[in-house]
Amino acid sequence: MTAQLGARIRQARLAQGLSLRATAGAAAISPSLLSQVETGKVQPSVSTLYAIVNTLGLSVDDVLGTASTPEATRRQLPAHPVQRWETAPEILMENGVSWRGLAVAGGGVDALHVTYQPGAASSLDDSHMRHEGVEYGYIIRGEITLKLDFDSHVLRPGDSFCFDSMRPHLYLNHTDAVSEGVWFVMGQARRGESVADPSPVMRSAVDVLDAMSRLPGRAEV
């Protein structure tokens, strides 16, 4: 899935006429890292992927390859009411995190089965992230720590959460057991929609990144 993920990111960047260097700068990552993600040579962390996704105005459905128009969604729902586990699109990310897309199409909802391996975190350096939308989650097994703003919340099976995703947040699994849950993100900006906040990515609680949804200029190949 890593190669397909990179190809979709590159396709979206080129379609918007964005250069590799400008896109990387807006996402606060190096051009070499973005290039490696696009070519499938590296798996991004959750925070890196969200930085790229927000800079390009994509959604989780876009990078999973499950995005569709409302018309297409209405046509597909009667024919495909069930999604089997083995056919669900999955992204394996750096540091032991996986996202598996659930059978929710359209309506501005991204639905994910999320797994954090022991010691895994949504970023490699404990930096916080933020992005468009409202984030909901329910813990199925294991234990995960949600750092939201400057507070820490230890979540266990049966616990759930809800917060504005523009608030700086970080997920950590400090235990020696796998943690998993179901995440829903509602209201992420799609391509062609206006982004309510012009600075959609925060990598730490004090650093606000300059972001852009469109840049002029010729794209680098």
Lowest mean pLDDT among 84-88, 115-119, 170-174: 84-88
Strands 97-101, 179-186: pairing is unpaired
Assign 115 to helix, strand or coil: strand
Residue 86, pLDDT > 80, answer yes
pLDDT at residue 151 tops 90: yes
Handedness of CA 18, 101, 1, 79 (dihedral sign): negative
* pLDDT surpasses 50 at 127: yes
pLDDT of residue 181: 97
Is the pTM higher than 0.75? The answer reads no
Confidence (pLDDT) at 81 = 75
